[in-house]
Structure 1
């Protein structure tokens, strides 16, 4: 029996087997892009430089609930979990059941849950997980390809789901987001990351902090 287990272990750790496992996220991402191109912004996952730039404003010490829209194969998910505090939670919401199944099977972290659903239902989803508001919400959804009115609805629901002073972090490949974000958020800052294929715009939108004093 020991010999059989040793052979299995050697097979699993063979360089070719390790290489195949490393390709699984990319192959999953590409397969879903082919199936649903309008719902995935790019055929190539985000670069490490884009991940760092998008998450740069996050105050990790105060974040209790971090929400992600459209996690895909977890390009942002894993870096978020690396920086999230031990008692916090990350909820990743996706309309693609294959991505949800993949992430829940691949990421063994009690702070993480991938949920099948729509970003438009973010308040309902966070309430179902015991929270009343989120500190940060991240999105790579391709807003310019969403049906008419859906982007505006998601932006409004996101603003309502954030705590006062919380931020909506968005990375996009066009400037379309400006008209979606400015009507909903008190402050919108913009950036651009060249080290990504294709180069990507970043929007950091903040909920009005004064609401906390008025409440």
Structure 2
């Protein structure tokens, strides 16, 4: 309940940074983390962990040799994620600083990105800035997963984001719809190589 209230408060205060009124459901968490081969993933980053629901699932699946960190802009959500997942490294920063954070972590390239950012509420310039920063650190075999709400596809930014995924990745697949999520959502599962 506490995490749901924290999430709702951040949505009301920062609607362009928090894209939903409630944390992701267990079904959406499963759809997201099932997008990766956890036996081979070694350099894993989470963008926008919110209250840490994906973070918790990631930590349970990480290979013992894998490195992992998350990046969150909201100081309150950083605290919530750290409280939920005390073993996780959570940076209070912007994902546009991914190259600098990777350098700090001793990571040359990322092979897996789990993303909870509200792409449909971002401007064209912010979408581009984040993508440019991310593409600068992805390995050629990288996988990327993010979710979208069905109503977001009706927005210009949601359509623009879908096109950007198609232009950037060799494969882009959509998961089944997670109807138990508020609002209903699906996962974009993307890879740089076929």
Q: TM-score, normalised by structure 1?
A: 0.79
The 8 Å contact of residues 110 and 142 in structure 2, kept in 1 or not, is answered as yes
Gaps of 5+ in 2: none
Write the deviation string for residues 39-66 of structure 1: whole angstroms up to 9, x where unpaired.
1111111111111112213111111221
Instruction: Give the one of 137, 158, 183 matched to 1:198.
Output: 183
**1:185 is matched with which residue?**
169
| Structure whose alpha-carbon radius of gyration is higher | 1
Q: Cα RMSD between the aligned structures?
A: 1.7
The 8 Å contact of residues 189 and 205 in structure 1, kept in 2 or not, is answered as yes
Q: Which has the higher contact order (CA 8 A, sep 6+)?
A: 2
2:192 equivalent to 1:207? yes
List structure 1 segments (4+ residues) > 3 angstroms apart after TM superposition.
none
Query: Hey, what's the Cα distance between the residues in 2 that align with 1:29 and 1:117?
Result: 18
- What is the Cα deviation at residue 105 of structure 1? 4.2
Write the deviation string for residues 109-135 of structure 1: whole angstroms up to 9, x where unpaired.
1xx210011112212211111101112
Task: Map 1:79-158; keep pairs closer than 5 Å.
Answer: 79-109=57-87, 112-158=88-134
Give aligned pairs, total. Answer: 185
Compare 24-33 and 48-57 and name the one that shifted more: 24-33
Task: Map 1:34-73; keep pairs closer than 5 Å.
Answer: 34-73=12-51
Gaps of 5+ in 1: 1-22, 210-215
Query: Hey, what's the Cα distance between the residues in 1 that align with 2:116 and 2:182?
Result: 14
- What is the Cα deviation at residue 145 of structure 1? 1.4
Query: Hey, what's the Cα distance between the residues in 2 that align with 1:42 and 1:48?
Result: 15
- What is the Cα deviation at residue 172 of structure 1? 1.2
Write the deviation string for residues 129-183 of structure 1: whole angstroms up to 9, x where unpaired.
1101112111121112113311122223323322221111010112323122122
**1:163 is matched with which residue?**
139
Q: TM-score, normalised by structure 2?
A: 0.87
The 8 Å contact of residues 48 and 117 in structure 2, kept in 1 or not, is answered as yes
